[in-house]
Chains A and B, each alone.
Chain A
Amino acid sequence: MIEITFRHKKFEVKENMTARDALQKIGIDPESVLITVNGKLVTDDVILRAGDVVKLVAVVSGGSAIAR
């Protein structure tokens, strides 16, 4: 199993699937995060292997209001 960390929460998925598929398995919108594997930014078609350390970075804007 591979552990995925996102905002202090941890999820487990099977290895040998793409990162995009893994995100869909755990119900996270792939468009809303960046994926790092073993500390490196990767594209979402990368295959997750046993032992990989996967962390997600949220990309939502930090502002409190959208200025029109």
Chain B
Amino acid sequence: MRHHKLALCAPHYGEWFVVSTQRAIEKYKMFTRAERVLVAVSGGKDSLALWDVLTRLGYATDGLYVGLGIQGELAYSDQSLARIREFQAQHVPDATLHIVDVQETYGKTIPEIARASSRGHGKPCSACGLTKRYVMNRLAAERGYAALATGHNLDDEAAVLMQNTLHWQTGYLARQAPVLEAGEGLARKVKPFCRFYERETAAYAMVRDINYVYDECPHAVGNLTNFYKTLLNQLEAQSPGAKLQFYTQFLKARRAGFFDAPSSDQIALRVCDVCGQPTTAPGRCAFCRMWDVAAPPNDALELGNALSAQDAWTAASARVAENMDLSDL
């Protein structure tokens, strides 16, 4: 870790990583051991490492996986669920894994709804982000979790910060923080890994023998966030610590009031006519408009229509076995 001028052996690296996570949780007052935390898991290194670390630290956690129906040559979504179930069996056997399969629940996969809607200019990333944020928030809020924890790392945060700074998106800058407080219908959102480099979370996953999805989403290739990550990495190569300083100094400026967030009454949140979730637009929220949900549904998060974890696992395992050879991953 050139930015810390620190090199550690595997056992001490694992200890350092866990202790540093605890320090971030305390520094930003994310949650306590008396509270239940929902960890959003994708099957990638960050989210699985996060679930592992929080469990080792003694926090009460459950997981949430949103099945997106993104397959392609890699059977990406099936592979992701397979990795999560393997991780759960080995590392967090006592935790609950919530699974919301988008196609089972809303009738289309993410690529299908992206093609059917006008969001994203032909790329599914916008539809995917909207759907994941909606499902994660709703389940966390309705199930009474104290916080929704995501595996966003420093590279994610710095790339978004750079993007928002270059476009002077002051609204987004005001809301970028390690903790987003709860509001009416909005779950509390926390990012315990926000100060870890992407390489650090990957190294932790390797040290812990976590078998994560190595491939990136087939739709993420060439996306803007990865472009900004590449630029920041070039900066980091010349100036170790540049990414960390960029982000932490932003947080310091934010605390000093340089990016005052508008208060909730200025934002004027309304309630969606269909699902009752908070929205800034009158009528239906962006999610219900995109999915063309017209009436209060028996939708997924009542979970009557959602796949049970076991059913989803069985189906995904069968498709993975049929479609791909996992030995080379």
A60 to B236 alpha-carbon distance, docked (Å): 15
| B322 close to A (CB within 8 Å) | no
Residue of B nearest to A24 (CB): B237
With A57-B202, A59-B45: A64-B233 Cβ-Cβ less than 8 Å: no
Q: Which residues of B sit under 8 angstroms from A60, Cβ to Cβ?
A: 198, 216, 220, 226, 229
From 15 to 30 in chain A, residues with beta carbon under 8 angstroms from any chain B beta carbon are 29-30
Q: Give the shortest distance, in Å, between B121 (CB) and chain A (any CB).
A: 14
Tell which of A41, A61, A66 has the most Cβ of chain B within 10 Å: A61
B152, B206, B212, B225: the one contacting A41 at CB < 8 Å is B206
Question: Are the CB atoms of B225 and A66 closer together than 8 Å?
Answer: yes
Q: Give the shortest distance, in Å, between A5 (CB) and chain B (any CB).
A: 11
On chain A, the number of residues with a Cβ less than 8 Å from chain B's Cβ atoms is: 20
Question: Are the CB atoms of A29 and B237 closer together than 8 Å?
Answer: yes
| B: interface residue count bin | 35 or more
With A29-B233, A34-B199, A41-B203: A63-B214 Cβ-Cβ less than 8 Å: no
Encoded as 1 (CB less than 8 Å from any A CB) or 0, chain B from 231 to 262 comes to: 00110110000000000000000000000000
A67 to B10 alpha-carbon distance, docked (Å): 31
Residue of B nearest to A33 (CB): B199
Question: Are the CB atoms of A67 and B199 closer together than 8 Å?
Answer: no
Question: Are the CB atoms of A62 and B213 closer together than 8 Å?
Answer: yes
From 65 to 87 in chain B, residues with beta carbon under 8 angstroms from any chain A beta carbon are 68, 70, 80
With A34-B202, A34-B206, A68-B160: A63-B220 Cβ-Cβ less than 8 Å: yes
A41 to B11 alpha-carbon distance, docked (Å): 12
Question: Are the CB atoms of A31 and B152 closer together than 8 Å?
Answer: no
| A38 close to B (CB within 8 Å) | no
Question: Are the CB atoms of A66 and B214 closer together than 8 Å?
Answer: no
Encoded as 1 (CB less than 8 Å from any B CB) or 0, chain A from 25 to 52 comes to: 0000111111000000101000000000
Q: Which residues of B sit under 8 angstroms from A59, Cβ to Cβ?
A: 45, 198-199, 201-202
Q: Give the shortest distance, in Å, between A27 (CB) and chain B (any CB).
A: 12
Question: Are the CB atoms of B129 and A61 closer together than 8 Å?
Answer: no
A60 to B220 alpha-carbon distance, docked (Å): 10
With A34-B199, A41-B207, A66-B129: A61-B216 Cβ-Cβ less than 8 Å: yes
With A43-B7, A59-B198, A65-B129: A32-B233 Cβ-Cβ less than 8 Å: yes
With A29-B237, A67-B132: A62-B202 Cβ-Cβ less than 8 Å: no
Residue of B nearest to A31 (CB): B233
| A1 close to B (CB within 8 Å) | no
Residue of A nearest to B8 (CB): A43
Q: Which residues of B sit under 8 angstroms from A34, Cβ to Cβ?
A: 199, 202-203, 206
- Given A58-B216, A67-B133, A67-B152, 12 new contacts (CB under 8 A): A32-B229, A32-B230, A34-B206, A41-B207, A57-B202, A58-B214, A59-B45, A60-B229, A61-B46, A61-B155, A64-B219, A65-B126
A–B pairs, 16, beta carbons within 8 Å: A29-B233, A34-B199, A34-B206, A58-B214, A59-B199, A59-B201, A61-B45, A61-B155, A62-B45, A63-B44, A63-B220, A65-B129, A66-B152, A66-B160, A66-B225, A67-B132
Residues in B lying within 8 Å of A, measured CB to CB: 7, 10, 42-46, 68, 70, 80, 110, 124-126, 128-129, 132-133, 136, 150, 152-153, 155-156, 159-160, 172, 175-176, 197-199, 201-203, 206-207, 212-217, 219-220, 225-226, 229-230, 233-234, 236-237
State the 6 A-B residue pairs at the shortest beta-carbon distance, nearest first: A62-B44, A65-B129, A64-B217, A31-B233, A59-B202, A65-B125
